[in-house]
Amino acid sequence: MTSEIGSPIQGTVLLVDVEIGAEVTVGQRIALLESMKMEHEVMATSSGVVEGIHVEAGETVLEDQALISLEFKEISNTSEVAVAQVDLDFIRDDLAEVNERHALGHDHQRPNAVEKRRATKQRTARENLDDLVDGVPYIEYGPLAIAPQRKRRTLEDLILNTPADGMIAGIGEVNGHLFSENKTQCVVMSYDYTVLAGTQGGQNHRKKDRLFEIAKRWKLPVIFFTEGGGGRPGDTDGMQVAGLDCLAFGLWAELSALVPLIGINSGYCFAGNAAILGCCDVIIATENSNIGMGGPAMIEGGGLGAYDPKEIGPMEIQRPNGVVDISVKDEEEAVKVAKKYLSYFQGPVPDWDCGDQRELRHIIPENRLRVYDIREVIEVMFDTDSLLEIRKDFGAGIVTTLARIEGKPVGVIANNPVHLGGAIDSDAADKAARFMQLCDAFGLPIINLCDTPGFMVGPEAEKTGLVRHVSRMFVTARSTSVPTCTIVLRKAYGLGAQAMASGGFKFPLFTISWPTGEFGGMGLEGAVKLGYRKELEAIEDLEERDKAYQSLVERMYEVGKGISMADHFEIDDVIDPMESRRWISSALKATSSGNSERGKNRPMIDTW
């Protein structure tokens, strides 16, 4: 019986491996073909003796065209056909070359660079990213990129000294121990200060473009270590003049309000690096940070004098002026805070605890003029160890805090009676308005704890642009889509109180008061002086006038007590302070919150 073995493809015969009369076994190569620049081995599909060869080297064949004919014969030694054994641990030369290139960019191959970081008591970029992802390997984009300076430096020099072009970037898992995998994938990025002072080179700009677009398409949070000196003037491999057509800054800004943007800085951060940092939702900075829109060279080049980099934007300036949201000791603490911050936008946690809520009954003094610590109220009211205060050193009249209640993340805005009696000044209003935007962008309900005599007043306050600044609280609150809740702890007077209630007491999901609550269209004392001026001036005896004044204040206080407000249904209820958590958790269960599936909840989050 005769059979034929045909060509599996159309191609050209490079060689025929068998001769007439030769024995062929199944799996033995009989010919080698070339098709579309690729070589294809033709293997025998049956055993036998070669009876005919129908092609020769150089001939073009069609698919299924006969190559050889076999006369069937059972070959007794088929079991002796050699089977290739592959050593799975063997590293071929091509893989070895790739492994070597990757290794050159890692810390263990760069002892001098590591030593420089140790001298400044800082970690390497890779150490920071490894800590961020809890040591779980992340996929890195562009690790083999080098600085585009081939016209001025050798390839060997660039490979050794500019690994990854000073930008390490990839996708990794953050907080994997807390949340399911689909909630923990993030874009993680870091300038590498050991490579050309962490400057922004041509390739690392392209790398940012790549990762920013991935973050946008798949809605991945971005955590960015921004240390570096800004734009790099020394790149040579390109056709640019000024480079102002780069896409990175625009693509980065587009991510605002779409995904959480977390900036971490340690050391110097100037110019373009500072612009990246400034676009972040939150700026976490170590105590050794210097942050500025221009470094020493740019300042001196502008004819503005010579400065040491440590004189530019130190933390004692950038904390109280509101640039830095959270101040930390070092990079280790910065990573911990960044992971905690991100967790609020990754969802609820199953395990939680809280303090004894009866304590809330006793934090507000019975003396209505006595101050108290608003942070103590927040610590007791919300889940234990769930707080992260934002912009603590700026706008002291308002406290803005991320928190959890029964494991669910919320934002908390609270007046601080220790500062100006809780009056809302320009900085406090800016702080509150931006925090509202942050919560709204990522679906966090907002809990307002109100204790304010109103907006700050006076000639000095007006010098700060007060009218415009405080009005931001109204327009921002009415533009949000997340549920808000207002609890009046003590004072709720005038426009400031309305601002703490999303524009008015009927706008929040609920507006309730503790027994210590007191209400009025303006401060009681001012209301009496304004409303009863003529009557008081008519009392000539100053002592009698003061008694009348105090009597009117006390009467207005009685009228403006929480119970009076509740029986006129201007608020929803007066409650036992220990019931605050129950009100919040119960009311929030009636609402749906979270990121919009259609895209952004807001066009952006104000950088200020």
Q: Which residue has the higher pLDDT, 230 or 268?
A: 268
Instruction: State residue 242's pLDDT score.
Output: 73
Quote the pLDDT of residue 239: 62
Task: Give the C-alpha separation, 154 to 166, whole Å.
Answer: 17
Which of the two residues, 152 and 555, has the higher pLDDT score? 152
Note the pLDDT of residue 595.
45
Mean pLDDT on 382-401: 97
The mean of the pLDDT values for the chain is: 91
Q: What is the mean pLDDT of residues 114-142?
A: 95
Higher pLDDT, 101 or 541: 101
Quickly name the fold that domain 2-77 has. OB fold (Dihydrolipoamide Acetyltransferase, E2P) (2.40.50)
Q: What is the pLDDT of residue 230?
A: 87
- Please answer whether residues 415 and 424 qualify as being in contact, where contact means their C-beta atoms are separated by less than 8 angstroms: yes
> Among 28-42, 294-308, 366-380, where is mean pLDDT lowest?
294-308
Q: Sort residue 290 into left (φ over 0), alpha (ψ -120 to 50) or beta.
A: beta
Higher pLDDT pick, 295 / 265: 265
SS3 80: helix
Element (H, E) at 468: helix 466-477
Residues 583 and 407: their CA atoms lie apart, in Å, by 15
Please give the model's pTM, rounded to 2 decimal places. Answer: 0.88
Q: How confident is the model at residue 557 (pLDDT cuts 50, 70, 90)?
A: confident
Report yes or no: 327 and 291 within 8 Å, Cβ to Cβ. no
- 354 and 581 Cβ atoms separated by less than 8 Å: yes
Residue 222, number of CB atoms within 10 A of its CB: 24
User: Above 50 in pLDDT, residue 115?
Assistant: yes
| Neighbour order of strands in the sheet with 38-43 | 38-43, 29-35, 11-16, 60-61
Bridge partners of 411, per DSSP, are 402, 446
43: nearest Cα among 33, 35, 53: 33
C-alpha span between 158 and 581 (Å, rounded): 59
Q: What is the pLDDT of residues 424-442, one digit of tens each?
A: 999 999 999 999 999 999 9
Indicate the helix (H) or strand (E) that contains 427.
Answer: helix 426-441
Cα→Cα distances 213→249, 273, 279, 606, Å: 12, 19, 16, 21
Average pLDDT over residues 468-490: 96
292: left (phi over 0), alpha (psi -120 to 50) or beta: beta
Secondary structure of 372-404 in HEC code, one letter for each residue: CCHHHHHHHHCCCCCCEEECCCCCCCEEEEEEE
By the 8 A CB rule, do 277 and 326 touch? Answer: no
Q: What local confidence, expressed as pLDDT, does residue 599 receive?
A: 65
pLDDT, residue 76, reads 62
User: pLDDT category, 468, cuts 50, 70, 90?
Assistant: very high
Proportion of the chain above pLDDT 70, given as a percent = 96
> Look-up: residue for tokens 């004072």?
491
pLDDT, one tens digit per residue, over 193-220 is 999 999 998 889 999 999 999 999 999 9
Q: What is the helix (H) or strand (E) element at residue 72, kind and residue range?
A: strand 66-72
Contact 292, 270 (CB under 8 A): yes
67 within 8 A of 7, measured Cβ to Cβ: yes
Cβ neighbours, 10 Å, residue 327: 19
User: Which of 559, 417, 590, 437 is CA-nearest to residue 489?
Assistant: 417
> How confident is the model at residue 231, as a pLDDT?
86
Category of 321 on φ-ψ map: left (φ > 0), alpha (ψ -120 to 50) or beta: alpha
- Given a cut of 70, is residue 123 above it in pLDDT? yes
φ, ψ for residue 405 (rounded to 5)?
-135, 120
CB–CB of 297/279 below 8 Å?
no
Q: Residue 46's pLDDT band (boundaries 50, 70, 90)? A: confident
Which residues make Cβ contacts (< 8 Å) with residue 410, sequence separation at least 6? 382, 402, 403, 404, 439, 444, 445, 446, 447, 584, 588
Q: Print burial letters for 103-113: b (CB count within 10 Å at least 16), e (below 16).
A: eebebeebeeb
- Residue 259 pLDDT > 80, yes or no? yes
Q: How far apart are the first and last CA of the chain?
A: 88
Residue 456: pLDDT band with limits 50, 70, 90: very high
Q: Is the pLDDT of residue 546 over 90?
A: no
Q: Is the pLDDT of residue 81 over 60?
A: no
Confidence band of 87 (pLDDT split at 50, 70, 90): confident
C-alpha 576/C-alpha 362 separation (Å) is 11
DSSP string, 36-66: TTEEEEEE-SS-EEEEEE---TT-EE-TT-E
Which of 24-38, 267-281, 400-414, 582-596 shows the lowest mean pLDDT across its residues? 582-596
Cβ–Cβ < 8 Å for 247, 209: yes
What is the Cα–Cα distance from 291 to 271, expressed in whole angstroms?
9
Report d(CA 500, CA 451) in Å as an integer. Answer: 9
The helices-and-strands tally (H runs, E runs) of the chain is 21, 25
Nearest to 408, CA basis, from 383, 390, 384: 383
Domain covering 93-343, topology: 2-enoyl-CoA Hydratase; Chain A, domain 1 (3.90.226)
Mean pLDDT of 178-192: 90
Residue boundaries of the structural domains of the chain: 2-77, 93-343, 357-517+561-589, 522-560
Residues found in the chain: 608
- Two domains, one topology: 93-343 and 357-517+561-589: yes
CATH superfamily of 357-517+561-589: 2-enoyl-CoA Hydratase; Chain A, domain 1 (3.90.226.10)
